[in-house]
Amino acid sequence: MKNILVTGGAGFIGSAFVRHMVQTYPHYTIVVFDKLTYAGNLDNLLPVHDEPNYRFVRGDIADAQAVRRALEEYQIDAIVNFAAESHVDRSIMNSHAFLETDVIGVYVLLEQARQLGIKRFHQVSTDEVYGWIAEGAFKETDPLQPNNPYSAAKAGGEMMVRAYHVTHGMHTTVTRGSNTYGPYQYPEKMMSLFITEAIDDRPLPVYGDGKQVRDWLYVDDHARAIDLVLHVGAPGEVYNVGGENEHHNIDVTRRILRLLGKPESLIRFVADRPGHDRRYALDCTKIKALGWQRNDDFESLLAQTVAWYRQNEWWWRKIKTGEYLEYYKQQYAQRLAEAKSQ
């Protein structure tokens, strides 16, 4: 591998992967291909902007011509696909863009890759494709039972990846990552929303009873896992990537408040997300056998993450304007008006 196309590389996890790859493999050329939707942000790539092995192309993965141009121009030999509409709440409001990017977009990438004989295709997927599990942990062989339009679209994309492996013999790999946190996360997801809202002494809207369980994975651990699977993952295989770090949402919320020295009176219990998955948990035996290990110090990684948002207000304050405020109003205004304090 020499030239890698990282689609969605201007987003949260994609940009962490790009920063990691550009530094770790100076002999590779890392080409970011990103539509720059509301979630795409070139600020996330500032740390690598001047590196000689980094390139940026603006484009849509559902646009076959644009994809083909980039693949040919940079003589790409591997694609790592992060590009997606990624927020469950937005998929509940309107699912269209999720199908365009997370299903059709994946197909377009696969088909162009097939036509040009690209050697490797890695699909970044999510634990949400399994649905939720009351006890124990999902294995890669478990059935997919997605419950919301985002996870249904991601499952659709993933099934197309599987089909291109089985039918066309393409060397594909898939990772199913758990809830990821860290710097540069668009402040609509729980972790980055709650940290930035708490900094401003604003209410934190906890859905339902706050007893849902998420498995938190640090973003750099997620990026390293994808690097590993890209290099040594077996063709056609799927790998779970979990933090093995389960917490109730309400407990994470309280920890964030404690780290910021803010009162628990900021917590509001608001109307639940429809179709809200109760618990995610992954069995990570398979990726560990490849040599991957997560950093298990949640306490200090969360503290570092909170400190990053405190020190980088320049990054998130300019996001919280315009379209963001429209979305925020639509998602939270009524919920907060009807909320219960804790």
We find the least distance from the C-beta atom of residue 181 to ligand TYD, in angstroms, to be: 9
Q: What is the DSSP letter of 291?
A: T
Cβ-based nearer residue to ligand NAD, 85 or 221: 85
Is residue 43 flagged as an active site residue?
no
User: Residue 218 catalytic?
Assistant: no
Q: Which residues within the stretch 162-191 sit at the binding site for ligand NAD (CB under 6 A)?
A: 177, 179-180, 186
Q: Is 179 in the site for ligand TYD (CB under 6 A)?
A: yes
Q: Is 233 in the site for ligand NAD (CB under 6 A)?
A: no
Is-catalytic flag, 150? Answer: yes
Residue of 169, 65, 180, 193 lying closest to 121 (CA atoms): 169
Q: Which of 54, 74, 130, 150 is catalytic?
A: 150
Of the candidate residues 4, 5, 6, 12, the single one contacting ligand NAD (CB under 6 A): 12
Instruction: Give the one residue of 190, 226, 267, 287 binding ligand TYD; rule: CB under 6 A.
Output: 190
For the beta carbon of residue 66, count every other beta carbon within 10 angstroms.
Answer: 18
| Separation CA 242–CA 196 (nearest Å) | 25
Cα–Cα distances in angstroms (integers) from residue 38 to residues 144, 179, 187, 199, 261, in the given order:
29, 20, 11, 22, 31
- The 10 Å Cβ neighbour count of residue 255 is 17
Distance of CA 117 to the CA centre of its chain: 27
Residues numbered 71-110 forming contacts with ligand NAD, rule: CB under 6 A: 82-86, 101, 105
Q: Identify the bridge partners of residue 56 per DSSP, sorted by sequence position.
A: 32
- Nearest 5°: phi and psi at 71? -60, -40
Q: Which of 4, 6, 13, 106 binds ligand NAD (CB under 6 A)?
A: 13
Structure-token pair, residue 252: 């994470």
Q: Answer with the entry of ligand NAD, ligand TYD, none that 207 interacts with (C-beta below 5 to 8 A by kind).
A: ligand TYD
Binding region for ligand NAD (CB under 6 A) out of 29-37, 48-56, 162-170, 271-279: 29-37
Q: Is 253 left (phi over 0), alpha (psi -120 to 50) or beta?
A: alpha
* Catalytic machinery residues: 127-128, 150
Give me the residues that bind ligand TYD (CB under 6 A), please.
88-89, 128, 179, 189-190, 193, 205-207, 212, 214, 249, 273
